Amino acid sequence: MFAIVDIETTGGYSGVHRITEIAILVHDGEKITETFQT
C-alpha cells in the first residue's frame, strides 16, 4: 500500500503562504482503496 498526497498552497514560502487544499489517495497496488480531500 502507498499514499499519493497532493497539497495546494497560496505560494512557495511557508512563512507567508498557506495550505489551501489537501488530497490523499491510498492505493493497494491494484486500485485506489481510500480517498480524502479538503
Distance CA 7, CA 13 (A): 14
- pTM for the full model? 0.78
Contact 35, 26 (CB under 8 A): yes
**Could you say which residues of the chain have pLDDT below 70?**
none
CA Rg, the chain, in Å? 13
> What integer pLDDT is reported at residue 3 of this predicted model?
98
For residue 21, the enclosing domain spans: 2-37
Amino acid identity at 13 = Y
Instruction: Report how many domains make up the chain.
Output: 1
Report which of 18, 33, 16, 21 is spatially closest to residue 3, judged by C-alpha positions: 33
The residue assigned the cell 498552497 is 9
